[in-house]
Amino acid sequence: MAAIDLTGIRAVVFDTDGVVTDTARVHAAAWKSVFDPYLRGRSEPFDVREDYLRHVDGRTRLDGVRTFLGSRGLAPSEEDVAALGAAKDRIFVEQIERYGVAAFPSAVVLLRELRRRGSRTGAVSASVHCRKVVTAAGLMHLFDVVVDGRHDQPGPASFDEAAKLLDLRPDEVAVVGDTLPGIAAAGRGGFGLIVAVDRAGLSFKELGADMVIADLAELDVTGRVRL
């Protein structure tokens, strides 16, 4: 079984959507509802699995619009990019406010064990709604820092920001994520351990992941953080 050894790690930072909370599918469905009308007569419909994971997941809204439509050979105007991003955001917020947010049980078990052993924890997202999602899932008490994404910064640099807020060096922090841009950014950041949660057969090892697992239930915790 894969394990996080807390004798060398002082904190663990988690990507939220799809790792801690079951909200990746809500994001994907919201994207499909705005992309498909735009694609009609231009390209094939948006695939909530392949297109979302390869071109949108882990990116800021506007970067996701540009990257996905670019993959279809389309060059939308900035007005269209902004309109599609805003429409997706409205749908996503409506869905989580109406139906709430579910946390993965294996994530909750892991977070509690990490904290019991003295590890600090962080939640991050490329989405600007990370804090809203964590609050809706009832998990705020399990995190020391929560970092929302930012519109003005393409890609998820929030792992670095979380480490700074925790007042720790990257090599003292483990990262757990499930997006291609997120794992790639972590791989460039000098983090002490990079764990990729892969439910779709993506190439995370090539991006710098030290471990690749299918579910957080496969991830054990050993040692304790030394005070």
pLDDT recorded at residue 203: 81
* pLDDT band with cut points at 50, 70 and 90 for residue 56: very high
Q: Taking the alpha carbons of 163, 152, 203, 52 in that order, is the dihedral positive or negative?
A: positive
- Helix 158-165 / helix 180-188 crossing angle, nearest 10 deg: 50
Cβ-proximal residues to 42 (8 Å cutoff; 6+ apart), any chain: 72, 74
Q: Active site residue: 15, 148, 160, 198, which one? A: 15
Cβ-proximal residues to 167 (8 Å cutoff; 6+ apart), any chain: none
Pair of tokens at residue 126 = 């490329």
Going by DSSP bridges, is the β-strand pair 11-15/173-177 parallel, antiparallel, or unpaired? parallel
Q: How far lies 62's CA from each of 38, 55, 134, in Å? A: 15, 12, 22
Q: Active site residue: 5, 17, 160, 215, which one? A: 17
Q: What digits encode the pLDDT tens for the residues 63-120?
A: 999 999 999 999 999 999 999 999 999 999 999 999 999 999 999 999 999 999 999 9
17 part of the active site: yes
User: Where do the domains of the chain lie, and which CATH numbers do they carry?
Assistant: 2-22+101-222 (3.40.50.1000), 24-99 (1.10.150)
pLDDT recorded at residue 149: 83
165 has pLDDT over 70: yes
What are 174's strand-pairing partners?
12, 193
Full-model pTM? 0.90
